[in-house]
Amino acid sequence: MGYIYAIIILGGINIIAVLGVAILTCYTGLFSIGHAGFMALGGYMSAIMVKEFNIPFPFALIIGGTFAGLCSFIIGYPAFRSRLRGDYFAIATLGFSESIRLLLNNTKTIGNITLGGAFGYMNIPSHTTVLAVIVCVILALYFAHMFVTSQYGKNSISVSQDEVAAQMMGVNLMKTKMIALFISAFYSGVAGGLLGFYFAYLSPSFFSITKSSDLLAAVVFGGIQSLIGPFITAFVLVAVPELLRSFAEWRLIIYGFLFVIVMIFRPQGLLGYVEINMSFVRVFWNKLFHRKAKTQEG
Amino acid sequence: MSDEILSIKNLTVDFGGVRAVNNVSLTLNKGEFIGLIGPNGAGKTTVFNLITNAIRPTAGQINFKGKSILGKSPDQICRLGISRTFQNIRLFPQMTAYENVELGLHSTPKYSLAEAFIRTPRALRVEANARKRAHELLEMVNLGEHVNARASSLPYGLQRRLELARAMATSPDLLLLDEPAAGMNEDECKDLINLIRQIHTTMRYAMIMIEHHMNVVMDLCQGSRIYVLSLGSLLATGNPAEIQSNPDVIKAYLGERKR
Amino acid sequence: MELFIQQLVSGISIGAIYSLLAVGYALVYSVYNFTNWAFDGFMAFGAFMAFLAISSALEAPFWVAALISIVLTVLLAVTSEKLAYSPLRKRKAPRLFMMISAMGVNLAIVNLINLFFGGTFRKFPVDNLQPIFIGNVSVGRMDLMAGAISFGVLALLWLFLYRTKWGLGIRASSIDILTASLMGINNDAVALIVFGITGVLSTTAGIFFGIKYAVFPMMGLVTIKAMIASIVGGLGSLPAAILGSMLLGILETLVSGYISSTYRDLFSFFFLIVILLFFPNGLMGKSGDEKL
């Protein structure tokens, strides 16, 4: 039973982080391979809040998420101001997350807080329970849905489809992208916090480029402009490697080949353009059993 | 003076040594409809791009409603009341017709970010109003039946109309139409003329239209002016009859055909 | 002063390695409009193949090993273009898809290397060369060689692009690939050549990087630096890529020499942010106005 719980908790945490990436990547068209960095920032921050300042766990998660969100402006502002092209924004995020990891690796103490550098931040109180994760996942999904269907979310979608036209129609690109980035980093920060309160310690090595690749994989397989697609794949991608231990070392290799295969045969992902409501079940059914030749996305 | 909505003075832009627009001046009054014509490569679209600041001018002045709009970002300019369509249609391809129009309505969101997460009754009311308005605009351009069609799946002619509705959704005071009749046959052109005339009379926008179909321009600009650009410079200004009999204009067009 | 000159030479050699990578990116980008993320994997693959050729039963001499690894990496690069990019290119898929596909190729290559060889750091098997003394200043022979050969390779590339018929074809394709193909340039051949060149560039960079530091599966992460360098220089042009690379290489080495080697990578990233704040289009870049 404990094993199942572990999968639910890790799967749930992954879902929250992936929803964050989905808001940025699938809805705003900004590619990030550095969300592990935001997870680390949020994780360390919320752990410090609880362990050193005795702030209640839910508030600590919110503080951690907000901290990650604010830090995202460090790359967001210069990158969006210079209208960095998609691939190069991805580089900037990767550089950012590697910098965070490096910084944590070399920070033994801040004031009288012992962060432990590469050895990790120890003795974080365990607060992450199955219930807490389920509550967080439900809230995360609900708020993500509210955001992407709001006027703000639709502006994000327009930016992802044609940035120039969106701006000509009055969309403030900087503001729209910053909002999406903030929310996305907030989600990752909360996920990082939950991770720390589950393992009872945090190590910079949790937040390597591998973690970012995992998040990206869930989004690519799940589908663009869909929350439910990445939701499903985020869980599956945690559960399957956990259940098939021997498969673990092949995981990233298979992801790699799948990236190529998905792009060639089904670029919109598993459930691309499917919004959350009950009709997704029907759509999913149709897609599985009545495969129509679909035209590619333009 | 109070009637003047747009005034362009000595507008010039260079693209790496090539003068794409040279010393162009143009004025437009509230609610006026003018045409902008000229052979290919005359710099017509560039003028639109300069007005909406997709390109920065090398020299010159652009005043809108009496204030300079130079250096303002395209979205600020849109909010001030200038909207446009594009020569090569630029809709949001994966969004429905309805969503495309709706975007024009709320490109500046009408409720706070907090209200986006917890839809307050006020936010819901705002959305309902936008929905109603979007449907009205779609009806106006005769796209009532295609509300939920994906923009990319619409036929070419309807995409042009959708772009028009989206531009109208930003409630502009000045509407720039970039070759709205491109690629249309005679019948479609007639429908379009009627539609644009109807929009102009009901919405009272000031409008500038770039067009290659001469009958469309001559028809819509009756009682108004046409500006002719050639190789970046203003060649002639006048009413349709004057333009049609102007030897310079004829030469510019024939010159192009000969090439 | 001696220290400064040593650092400078070391910085130039690193800058030269970055240049190889940055030019590779810029080349693919200028023709195909996407960043070939798999570069990272090619580089590690090239270094590992050279490593194997020398340290396995083959015991190949250095130059032979380098040649073998270049041939193998070129084959890999060309295969990946055929399997992962060509189908997308043919149906004019958005750049984003090309980019994801490239990321996939990269994930697969890097992790396959990791699976077969393990994540350990290996010393590249070359003899410890005595440093050269110029006055009081000792200069690493390998640094000089890395710098010289890298620039040699870049010079050859320049000659190829500007002095041969095929080079002309590639340059024409980078301006307008569709028109180029209408004018009788074989797109597939151009693709094979371009990706072949990237194979050569990344292997050369991989071998020198391996000699300077170590050979390990994640060594390709250094390609981030090359990308940062090409943003710093200004996107889309080969000279700008080289300028950015040299600048980054030198500054970085000075930082690690005089401040701390730990914060070298941190410095590169903040350097990027500062450049973007003050030169939004990079040092030599022009603003990329999109055609409406």
Contact C134/C9 with Cβ under 8 angstroms? no
pLDDT digits (tens, 9 = 90+) for A194-214: 999 999 999 999 998 888 988
Q: Which chains touch A (3 or more CB pairs under 8 A)?
A: B, C
pLDDT of C37 reads 84
pLDDT digits (tens, 9 = 90+) for B135-156: 999 999 999 899 999 999 999 8
* Residue A109: CA count within 13 A, CB half-sphere: 4
Kindly state the average pLDDT of the residues B33-40. 90
- The partner residue sitting opposite C289, judged by closest CB among B55, B86, B87, is B55
pLDDT of B86 reads 93
Instruction: Flag if C289 and B54 touch (Cβ within 8 Å).
Output: yes
Among A1-5, A127-131, A203-207, A229-233, the minimum mean pLDDT is found in: A1-5
* C135 or C109: which leads in pLDDT: C109
Kindly state the average pLDDT of the residues B218-222. 88
In whole angstroms, give the CA distance from residue B8 to residue B26. Answer: 5
Kindly state the average pLDDT of the residues C144-148. 85
* C57 or B167: which leads in pLDDT: B167
Q: Which of B209, B237, B215 is nearest to B225 (CA)?
A: B237
**Over chain B, what is the mean pLDDT?**
90
pLDDT digits (tens, 9 = 90+) for C244-287: 999 999 999 999 888 887 788 888 888 888 888 888 777 876 65
Owner of token pair 């162009």 = B24
List all residues of chain A from 176 to 215 with a beta carbon under 8 Å from chain C: 209, 213
Instruction: Flag if A161 and B108 touch (Cβ within 8 Å).
Output: no
Q: Which ipTM was obtained for this model?
A: 0.89
Instruction: Flag if A209 and C91 touch (Cβ within 8 Å).
Output: no
Kindly state the average pLDDT of the residues B85-113. 92
DSSP per-residue codes, chain A = -HHHHHHHHHHHHHHHHHHHHHHHHHHH----S-HHHHHHHHHHHHHHHHHHH---HHHHHHHHHHHHHHHHHHHHHHHHHTT--HHHHHHHHHHHHHHHHHHHHT--EETTEE--GGG-B--------HHHHHHHHHHHHHHHHHHHHSHHHHHHHHHHH-HHHHHHTT--HHHHHHHHHHHHHHHHHHHHHHHHHHHS-B-GGGGSHHHHHHHHHHHHHH-TT-SHHHHHHHHHHHHHHHH-GGGGGGHHHHHHHHHHHHHHH-TT-TTTTPPSSTHHHHHHHHHHHS-PPPPPP-
- Using a CB-CB cut-off of 8 Å, the residues of chain A touching C93 are 263, 267, 296
**Over chain C, what is the mean pLDDT?**
85
Confidence of residue A72 (pLDDT cuts 50, 70, 90): very high
Q: Which of B73, C49, C52, C29 is nearest to A166 (CA)?
A: B73
pLDDT of B5 reads 92
Q: Which of B194, B230, B248, B198 is nearest to B36 (CA)?
A: B230
- Using a CB-CB cut-off of 8 Å, the residues of chain B touching C290 are 54
Share of chain A above pLDDT 70, in %: 89
Confidence of residue B256 (pLDDT cuts 50, 70, 90): low
Q: Which chains touch C (3 or more CB pairs under 8 A)?
A: A, B
Kindly state the average pLDDT of the residues B75-84. 94
Q: Which chains touch B (3 or more CB pairs under 8 A)?
A: A, C
In whole angstroms, give the CA distance from residue B54 to residue A81. Answer: 15
- Using a CB-CB cut-off of 8 Å, the residues of chain B touching A167 are 73-75, 78
| Bridge-based pairing state of the strands B59-64 and B67-68 | antiparallel
* Token pair listed for C162: 């500007």
The answer on pLDDT for B167 being more than 70 is yes
The length of chain C in residues reads 292
Q: Which residues contact A240 (CB under 8 A, 6 or more apart)?
A: A247
Instruction: Flag if C265 and A98 touch (Cβ within 8 Å).
Output: yes
Phi, psi of A170 (to 5 degrees): 105, 5
Confidence of residue A280 (pLDDT cuts 50, 70, 90): low
Q: In what order do the strands lie in the sheet with B67-68?
A: B18-29, B4-15, B59-64, B67-68
Phi, psi of B41 (to 5 degrees): 80, 15
List all residues of chain A from 241 to 270 with a beta carbon under 8 Å from chain C: 249-250, 252-253, 255-260, 262-264, 267
Instruction: Flag if A253 and C107 touch (Cβ within 8 Å).
Output: yes
If DSSP codes are grouped into helix, strand and coil, which group holds residue B18? strand
pLDDT of C227 reads 87
* Strand ranges, E, within chain B: 4-15, 18-29, 33-37, 59-64, 67-68, 82-84, 174-178, 206-210, 226-230, 233-238
CA distance to partner chain B, nearest, from residue C178 (Å)? 18
* Token pair listed for C274: 């500062």
* Residue C64: CA count within 13 A, CB half-sphere: 8
On whether any CB of chain B is under 8 Å from the CB of A173, the answer is yes
Q: Considering only CB atoms, which residues of chain B are within 8 Å of chain C?
A: 45, 48-49, 54-55, 86-88, 90
**Over chain A, what is the mean pLDDT?**
87
pLDDT digits (tens, 9 = 90+) for B175-217: 999 999 888 888 888 999 999 999 999 988 999 999 988 888 8
Instruction: Flag if C104 and A263 touch (Cβ within 8 Å).
Output: yes
In whole angstroms, give the CA distance from residue A33 to residue A54. Answer: 33
CA geometry: angle C93, C97, C98, nearest 5 deg: 85
* C290 or C189: which leads in pLDDT: C189
In whole angstroms, give the CA distance from residue C119 to residue C218. Answer: 8
Contact A269/A262 with Cβ under 8 angstroms? yes
pLDDT of C129 reads 66
Q: Which of C195, C215, C198 is nearest to C207 (CA)?
A: C215
Phi, psi of B73 (to 5 degrees): -75, 155
Kindly state the average pLDDT of the residues A106-125. 88
pLDDT of A274 reads 67
The answer on pLDDT for A216 being more than 80 is yes
Contact A45/A68 with Cβ under 8 angstroms? yes
Please list the alpha-helical segments (H only) found in B23-155: 44-51, 74-80, 97-106, 113-117, 121-140
